Amino acid sequence: MMDRIVITGMGVLSPAGLTLEEFWNTLVSAKPVYGPLPEWADDDRYRVKLGARLQRYDWAKDLPLKSYGKAACYCMAAAARAMEDAGLSRRSMGTRRVAVIIGTTMGEIQEEEALTERLYGGAEGDKTVFCRKYPAYHIAHAAAELCRASGPCYVVPAACAAGNYAIAMAKQLLDGHYADIVLAGGVDVFSKVAFAGFQRLLSLAPDVCRPFDKERRGLVLGEGCGVVVMEREKERIGGRQYGYVLGTGLASNAYHMTAPHISGEGEGNAMRRAIADAGLRTEEIDYISAHGTGTKANDRMEAMAIQRIFGGRKLPPVSSIKSVLGHSMGAASMLEVIACCLMMERNLLLPTANYQTPDEECPIDVVANQLREGKLHYVLSNSFAFGGQTSCVALGKIEGHYGKEGAR
């Protein structure tokens, strides 16, 4: 029997918090962390001026910000927290093959934005800095440098599904014994380019994000990073056990660059494959962490896919933490997997904030506005992306385990 893959450490860097405890408590509160962007208050180019950005930078005091771009530094900080949470150090990892896989949407796009301002806006500054900081591989290299990784190290540019793709590839490395420990992560920094793009698509909410609500009007853009430590269970040296990565499902609908296909077939395929890869039956799934962006088309399509796969019986409850965090793009799915692990530990389902009016086009069981108790043995975490990239991760509870030191 193949050794199961277990998550032994987790680290977050999010507007919702810089520790797992802060992150969890913010999600429990169902109070959105996004708000007006004061730096754009007088900028007429932006119709919507709402977003979720990191407000604290005490995490950066010991990081080489001058050597790396912001995304790489986010990744390095979250990786350090994940390693500390797992009780890992360079010494304890010894000669084990450590791999690093980081997913992202925009990479170090803010470096390109800064260069553009220098070239065309007349701003002063060292233009050679761009060449040192911009390449996307630096993001994974920063985390690899932190832990002296000797295994594979690469970046996965799979847009908003990037975190789940990183987990799927990490599982492949561990199952195939190409690595002994994998740091898998997802990261994106708040970007003017991404913000302007979503605005042109008329996808930005003017007030709040309301996934699956009949009155939903779009997403709220955010930023952040999540990193998990993954190991084979019998060979693990990490001191914690948050949950099993039982299966992954990757698919594509090859339909449109930005619009989801109304049938939800690609999204359904990802869920089916994750369930099959985990060796589970649909009736065993206790909860679904939805992609749930708050856009009309995406939420309707995801609800239809869930209905198609789980229809004919009581649907598993569904929630979307993007209602609180905003959409942190490449970091979103990794932060959602981390949230799922915390839910499984506590047998508590996180709420979908701002949900008021059920939508007949989204006939699913939405966990609305407050925590719900529920036994969680097996959960799915969905993440879908532009270009028709779809992904799903199946996670399993480690029975009788509630962290090394209880709730954090």
Q: Does 327 participate in catalysis according to the annotation?
A: yes
Q: Which of 103, 258, 252 is nearest to 165 (CA)?
A: 103
Max distance between CA atoms of the chain, in angstroms, equals 63
Given the residues 138, 153, 225, 327, select the one marked as catalytic: 327
Helix (H, G, I), strand (E, B) or coil at 155: strand
SS3 of residue 116 by DSSP: helix
Q: What share of the chain is helix, strand, coil (3-state, %, to 5)?
A: 35, 20, 40
Tokens standing for residue 147 = 């832990």
Q: Give me the catalytic one of 147, 209, 291, 341.
A: 291
Tokens of 343: 């839910």
SS3 state at 174: helix
- Establish how many alpha carbons lie within 13 A of residue 122's alpha carbon, considering only the half-sphere containing its beta carbon: 0
Instruction: Give the CA-trace dihedral at 366, 367, 369, 375, to 10 degrees.
Output: 180
DSSP string, 188-231: E---HHHHHHHHHTT-B-SS---TTBTT---B-B--EEEEEEEE
What are the residues whose beta carbons fall under 8 Å from the beta carbon of 63, sequence distance 6 or more?
73, 76, 77
Tokens 């690093």 found at: 100
Q: Is 291 noted as a catalytic residue in this protein? A: yes
Catalytic residue among 73, 75, 147, 160: 160
Catalytic residues: 160, 291, 327
